[in-house]
Amino acid sequence: MRIVIQRVSQAQVTIDQEVVGQIGPGLMLLVGVSDQDDQDTVAYMARKIANMRIFSDEAGKMNLSVKDIGGAVLSISQFTLYARTKKGNRPSFTDAGQPDYSNKIYQALNQALSQDYHLPVATGEFGADMQVSLVNDGPVTIILDSEE
């Protein structure tokens, strides 16, 4: 699983000119799934996301998690995180998970963040053409890769 985490002051996702998910301060996630990901991967990634200390404390140090600040999560499925670009100019997405399986794992991640870590989670729609807007706070952007 590959996840791009962005610390945001606000973010939203729109489908067909309708806002389907939005958050204030928190984390915007772009989530890519491979066929090798499983429930152990989901548990690991959810724990890392919920507990990652990338929000500033009163001293200005990155010492607080999204849970600590009472933030939310906007989670967006993003199969293109598995693009291979070594050969040619057209990316190959053969390393991305099969759609049905990827959706199952993506939904499991969102559920783990919500149920296990009590985070408000807004989402887009798996496989939809979405427009995502955000205000990256910092900017702070972290890449999590379960294979590293």
Q: Is 107 a catalytic residue?
A: no
Q: Can you tell me the distance from the alpha carbon of 74 to that of 39, in angstroms, rounded to the nearest whole number?
A: 20
Q: Is 22 a catalytic residue?
A: no
Domain ranges of the chain: 2-145
Tell me, yes or no, if the pTM score tops 0.75. Answer: yes
Q: Is 78 a catalytic residue?
A: yes
**CB atoms closer than 10 angstroms to residue 81:** 20
DSSP class of residue 74 equals E
The catalytic position among 6, 41, 79, 126 is 79
Helix or strand run (H / E) with residue 99: helix 99-111
Fold category of 2-145 in CATH: D-tyrosyl-trna(Tyr) Deacylase; Chain: A; (3.50.80)
- In this prediction, residue 113 carries a pLDDT of 98
Q: For residue range 96-107, what is the model confidence (pLDDT) as tens digits?
A: 889 999 999 999
Mean pLDDT of 10-18: 97
Helix or strand run (H / E) with residue 89: none
The catalytic position among 80, 115, 131, 141 is 80
Q: Which residue has the higher pLDDT, 89 or 41?
A: 41
Q: For residue range 60-91, what is the model confidence (pLDDT) as tens digits?
A: 999 999 999 999 999 999 998 888 888 888 88
Residue 71 contacts residue 25 (beta carbons within 8 Å)? yes
